[in-house]
Structure 1
Amino acid sequence: MEKFTVRCNVTATAGCIMLVSVFFFGNPDRGDDAAGHILQQWAEQNLSRTAEQNAELSFRFIYDFQLEPEHIFDLDGCDMAIFVDCVLNQESPTSWSRLQTGSQLMFTSHSVTPESLLFLFETTLKKNAPPCYLLGITGNQFQLGAALSDQTRNAIEEAKNLLHSKLSSEQPH
């Protein structure tokens, strides 16, 4: 499967107060790693309605197989960002945590960490990164061609509720 990036902007009105960039990651052909793609599809349907009902919110949805240095430009101009990714062997079905800017750029040949992306954002664009959060979804099987596990399928349902709740509240933390 070819690597691709999907970007979708959902703006409620011209008087929007808060732009939220939501990054969804994962390979839909690798078992539980499909969680990010599944949540991105759900968000475009359901969170778009939230933006339509709340003139203070606007969303920028970004889906990709992995986080890459170029994603600093998807952070630029937003008031808050959320990174949604499957996490290996996490104790709870979902987790929510505030991300801190890393102290150095750390990457592999395939991706960068969210913390490294924030570091790259600040050093390249010479400004502070917006508040960023990680929504982790538990996953255990990432083999090519594997099916989504029941554990991750259930965690995705919990993640939908958590994401909706955080974006509906005044303060996401």
Structure 2
Amino acid sequence: MRGLYLFPYVAPVIAVAFSWLILFDPFSGSANALLVQMGMTDSAINFFGERPLALIMVTVFEIWRYFPLSFLFILARMQSIDSDMYEAADMDGASPFQKFWYLSLPQLLGILSVLFLLRFIWTFNKFDDIFLLTGGNAGTRTLTVDVYEQAFAISNIGAGAAVAVIIFSCLLFFSFFFLKYVSREEGL
């Protein structure tokens, strides 16, 4: 079951992105046909072409695609927590919420902070999903898409390199700040 749950993460991004594009296509997509047949909308919706909706769809895609990795990290950490602590909490009469708040969450803060740092860096550098789904149109243009557009679409290598250096500087500053201040609190 875990292997099936990890499918969105391990599937090739091109195959998954085009599956989503076909599923949500405004002319022949199953999602639009279902919405029209159920009477939820009168006409087809361009999920990846309208400005606020495209950003929402890309965000949902990113969550769907990359949550399994985070879940696997969290599950591994949860399984490594000593069960004696929970037995002692049961003996003391702790509620499930208290066991989560005072036992589980402090044990998970280290892995959650590492996941936050990694996901922030990976999301900040995200290019392929956004480019395949929307091409950077409809309000989804990010700095990495801008690097591609500048350097390769209009052949302005200098401007593309400048934006890439800005991205690197931002990530370096954030990582330094995170590792210097936040990781001390988490014991990393």
Scaled to the shorter chain, the TM-score interval is under 0.3
**Normalized against structure 2, the TM-score is what?**
0.24
Quick check: which has more Rg, 1 or 2?
A: 2
More helix by share: 2
Higher relative contact order (CA 8 A, sep 6+): 1
